[in-house]
Structure 1
Amino acid sequence: MNLLEKPNDTNTIRKIVIFVCIGFVLLVLICAISGYFYVKSALKPVDPNDHRLRTVNIPIGSNINTIARALEEKHIIKSQSVFKYYVKFKKETGFQAGEYELNPSMNFDQIIKSLKTGKVVDNAVVKFTIPEGWQLVQIASIISKETGYSSAQIENRLDDRTFVKILIKKYPKILGTEILNPKVKHPLEGYLFPATYSFYNKKPSIDTTIETVLSHTNYVMTKYQTDMKKEKIKPNTLLTMASLIEEEATAQADRHNIASVFYNRIKAKMPLQTDPTVLYALNKHKQEVSYQDLKVKSPYNTYINKGLPPGPIASPGNASIEAALHPAKTDYLYFLAAKGTGKVYFAKTLSEHNALKQKYITAKK
Structure 2
Amino acid sequence: MSDSKFDSEYKERLHKRTEEAGKVRKIVALVLTSLIILLIVGGVSGYFYVKSALEPVDPSDESETTVEIPLGSSTSEIASILKENGIINNELIFRFYTKFKNVTGFQAGEYDFTKAMTIDEILQSLKTGKVMLDPLLRVTIPEGSTVEQIAARYAEHFNFTKEEFLKKIDDEAYVNKLIEEHPALLDEVILDPEIKHPLEGYLFATTYPFFEENPPIDQIVQKMLAQTKEVVLPYMDSLEGNRLSSVHEVITMASLLEKEAPKAESRKRIAGVFYNRLAQDMPLQTDPTVLYAIGEHKDRVLYEDTEVESPFNTYHINGLPIGPISNFNENALDAAVQPIDSENLYFLADQEGNIYYSKTLEEHNKKKAEHISQNSEDKQPEEAKPNDE
Residue 257 (structure 1) aligned to one of 258, 263, 269: 269
Partner of 2:213: 202
Residue 358 (structure 2) aligned to one of 318, 341, 347: 347
Partner of 1:181: 192
2:285 is paired with a residue whose SS is coil
Inter-CA distance 252–127: structure 2 relative to 1 (3 Å threshold): closer
Partner of 1:268: 280
Partner of 2:10: none
What amino acid is the match of 2:364? H
1:337 paired with 2:349, answer yes
Within a 5 Å distance, the mapping from 1:171-320 to structure 2 comes to: 171-228=182-239, 231=242, 233-251=245-263, 254-320=266-332
Q: Structure 1 length normalisation: TM-score?
A: 0.86
1:303 is paired with a residue whose SS is coil
Gaps of 5+ in 2: 1-16, 377-389
1:81 paired with 2:96, answer no
Partner of 1:96: 107
Inter-CA distance 106–269: structure 2 relative to 1 (3 Å threshold): same
Inter-CA distance 46–263: structure 2 relative to 1 (3 Å threshold): same
Inter-CA distance 144–291: structure 2 relative to 1 (3 Å threshold): same
Residue 150 (structure 2) aligned to one of 139, 144, 156: 139
2:109, 2:129 within 8 Å by CA — same for their partners in 1?
no
Larger radius of gyration: 2
Between 110-119 and 181-190, report the one with greater CA deviation. 110-119
State the 1:354 CA deviation.
1.1
Deviations 1:276-304 (A, max 9, x none): 11111111111211111111121111111
**Structure 2: distance between partners of 1:177 and 1:140:** 22
Between 20-29 and 254-263, report the one with greater CA deviation. 20-29
Gaps of 5+ in 1: 1-6
2:264, 2:335 within 8 Å by CA — same for their partners in 1?
no
1:102 is paired with a residue whose SS is strand
**Structure 1: distance between partners of 2:320 and 2:30:** 64
Count of matched residue positions in the alignment of Structure 1 and Structure 2: 357
Deviations 1:54-99 (A, max 9, x none): 4422123445344223223434223333223434545556643222
State the 1:11 CA deviation.
6.4
**Structure 2: distance between partners of 1:61 and 1:213:** 9
Deviations 1:294-332 (A, max 9, x none): 111211111111111111111011101111111121111
State the 1:196 CA deviation.
0.5
What amino acid is the match of 1:265? R
1:336, 1:346 within 8 Å by CA — same for their partners in 2?
yes
**Structure 2: distance between partners of 1:20 and 1:333:** 77
1:270 is paired with a residue whose SS is coil
Aligned sequence identity (%): 42
What amino acid is the match of 1:245? L
Between 277-286 and 87-96, report the one with greater CA deviation. 87-96
2:264, 2:331 within 8 Å by CA — same for their partners in 1?
no
Deviations 1:336-357 (A, max 9, x none): 111x211111111111111111
Residue 157 (structure 1) aligned to one of 168, 172, 177: 168
State the 1:30 CA deviation.
5.9
Inter-CA distance 54–182: structure 2 relative to 1 (3 Å threshold): farther
Inter-CA distance 114–253: structure 2 relative to 1 (3 Å threshold): closer
1:43 paired with 2:54, answer yes
Partner of 1:130: 141
Inter-CA distance 48–211: structure 2 relative to 1 (3 Å threshold): same
1:167, 1:175 within 8 Å by CA — same for their partners in 2?
yes
**Structure 1: distance between partners of 2:233 and 2:185:** 9
State the 1:274 CA deviation.
0.9
